[in-house]
Structure 1
Amino acid sequence: MTGYQCPICTTALVLQPTGKYYSCQQQHHFDIAKEGYLNLLPVQHKASLEPGDNKQMMLARREFLEAGHYAKMAQAVAKTITSNLPNTHTLHCLDLGCGEGYYSRTIAGLIGEQIPLVLHGVDIAKFAIAAAAKKQTTARFVVASANRLPYSDQYFDLVLRVFAPSNAQELNRILKPLGYLLTVTPGPRHLWQLKEFIYADVREHALEPVLAEGFVHLSTERLQYHINPNPAQRRALLQMTPFAWRANLNAQQALQAPEELAIEVDFCISLSQKM
């Protein structure tokens, strides 16, 4: 079973003998891109021509993440998986809103052979998925919306959601009974010093509720530390946050001016289980 379902009629998608495309019993067919990913976002489900992050935003995200600034968070996520999930059988894992695949690659490397994973990644941004597929040929990447996930019912053992939107009904549908949801959300002081360049009055926000309907909470870890991105990496960090829309030219220039700038990062890592 491929685990894919047709985004048009929701019947199962089957890889055809040529190995170049998938099709369903209604003869809807979807080609595998040269980079190895599958585009399961039909034009009628798009809100714009190229939804999601554009190429510039994707490159900014890659530049910042591959500098290792969020590596401690990725390590904590990997530890949560190895400490709580069974290692007796292969786990099907979906990286929801995976972007260019940094967390999929990093976590797969950290877990190693402790837990055998079949990794999937989904994002609405085609540029990001193409980049992810090039970097990690052993994973299965798909262009699709979090509100219309093109996967079979009860296919996944684990869904990873790092700073990504989700749909509780879809999460319940694609996860197996007693499947796990591992969520990373910003803590109250996340990127505090960056926000000081943009907002006149910076306040701690309340912890975001992360428990999706139909799930029971298992654990929460708050991880805080400082990063020291250089001016170019600060520019990339700004581009990958919602704050970019509020940062005028003066704020952007001021943010890049200091040679060194310590910025707080604050993550809440929560594990829950489907009831």
Structure 2
Amino acid sequence: MNSHPFDALACPLDGAPLTQEQGAWRCASGHSFDIARHGYVNLLPVQRKRSSDPGDSKAMVAARQRFLNAGYYQPIAEAVSAAVLEDSAEHTPLACLDAGCGEGYYLRQLAAMAGPAPLELLGLDISKWAVQAAARQGIAGQKGLPGAAWVVGSNANLPVQARSLDRLLCMFGFPVVEEFTRVLKPGGIWLQVEAGPNHLRELREIIYPTLKPERVNDAPVPAGFTQSATQTLRYTLALQGNAAIADLLAMTPHLYRATAEGRARAATLETLSVTIEVKLSKWVRNV
């Protein structure tokens, strides 16, 4: 990959630009944020945390890492990467944020698909365990996805300078329209991936007594954006072995929503044919 450093971070305390120097990110006001030994920086002030350890747990992150690295969601990654790279300038670095990056799978896949196309990558997640895992991993044997910035932070207060991003990914995450509007350049693209009505249906039928009627997900186009495209991706996974099934359940909110009886039924499974259905929406920030 042709990686360029992402340097448009902003101080989470006063919004001023951050500059990297001597193992830390600093702003002109003197606020300083140390870079951890694994290469990430924590830009989530303690006063903005709703708990002492927000976001996915270490166990959830590990389960997601195993499941994604096995390639089960590769078709989703390929569709998202193609949408990111579409209409990008050949020699101009493309600044891209994954807002809710987890352990960095989708940015690594994007970097692999981009080839020589220049990228400036930023992965952000509220879970320190997810960001730590993302910073540790690499692409093509290169540790940590060289040039990428990994940040513990919140979508509600993105530590990113205004109008600095060309692309923004929100993969099964929590969008914050006002913040996404602020950080995207005019003409920048927001890609939202959400579960479709039949996503993981067979698993849900096992862990819940009954399934609630599916809501039609026709959300309006966010204010300040123009809809560019929508795409539904649907395929079937044949999972073999209890470990893969357990990882799938553990990486989703269903692990905590299911009853004890439902989790016990899932724990006995050795095979599972499950539907993957996601909706990819592409919105362009108005000029």
Q: Same fold (TM over 0.5)?
A: yes
1:177 to 172, 179, 186: 186
Measure how far apart 1:89 and its partner are. Answer: 1.1
Task: Check if 1:225 corresponds to 2:213.
Answer: no
Contact 2:208 2:259 in 1 (8 A): no
The offset of 1:86, in angstroms, is 3.5
Work out whether 1:194 is the aligned partner of 2:203.
yes
Return 5+ residue gaps in structure 2 as ranges.
1-5, 139-143
**Counterpart-to-counterpart distance in 1, 2:221 and 2:242:** 36
The secondary structure found in structure 2 opposite 1:262 is strand
Q: Is the 8 A contact 2:237 2:273 kept in 1?
A: yes
- Corresponding pairs, count: 272
Q: Is the 8 A contact 1:179 1:273 kept in 2?
A: yes
Q: 2:272 is paired with a residue of what secondary structure?
A: coil
TM-score by length of 2: 0.90
Matched, 1:91 2:94: yes
Distance 1:208 1:47 in 2: 30
SS of 1:228's equivalent in the other structure is strand
Determine if contact 1:183/1:210 at 8 Å carries over to the other structure: no
- 1:18-38 deviation line (CA, Å, top 9, x unaligned): 2x1121121111100000001
Task: Decide which of 235, 238, 245 is 2:246's aligned counterpart.
Answer: 235
Write the distance in 2 (CA, Å) between the matches of 1:50 and 1:164. 18
Q: CA offset at residue 205 of structure 1?
A: 3.2
Q: 1:145 aligns with which of 154, 169, 172?
A: 154
- Cα distance change of structure 1 residues 234 and 210 upon mapping to structure 2, 3 Å threshold: farther
Amino acid at match of 1:71: Q
Aligned to 2:65: 62
The aligned counterpart of 1:37 is 40
Other-structure match for 2:7: 2
For the pair 1:216 / 2:226, whether they are aligned, the reply is yes
CA distance in 2, matches of 1:131, 1:246: 25
Structure 1 stretches lacking a partner, 5+ long: none
- Shift of the alpha carbon at 1:239? 1.6
Shift of 1:201: 2.7
The superposition leaves residues 41-77 of structure 1 with CA deviations (integer Å, 9 ceiling, x where unpaired) of: 1111111111111111111111111111111111111
**1:83-124 CA distance string (max 9 Å, x none):** 3434341100001100110111112112212x3211110000
TM-superposed deviation, 1:264: 0.2
Is 1:245 matched with 2:248? no
Q: Which amino acid aligns with 2:214?
A: E
Return the offset for 1:233: 1.5
Pick one of 14, 19, 38 that aligns with 2:19: 14
The 8 Å contact of residues 159 and 181 in structure 1, kept in 2 or not, is answered as yes
Per-residue CA distance 1:196-228 (angstroms, 9 max, x = gap): 012233243322527322111001111100112
Question: What is the deviation of 1:15?
Answer: 1.6
In 1, the alpha carbon distance for the partners of 2:234 and 2:52 equals 38
Question: CA separation in 2, counterparts of 1:253 and 1:87?
Answer: 52
* Percent identity (aligned): 37
Q: Which amino acid aligns with 2:61?
A: M
Query: What is the RMSD computed on CA atoms of the aligned residues?
Result: 1.6
Shift of the 2–83 alpha-carbon distance from structure 1 to 2, 3 Å rule, reads: closer
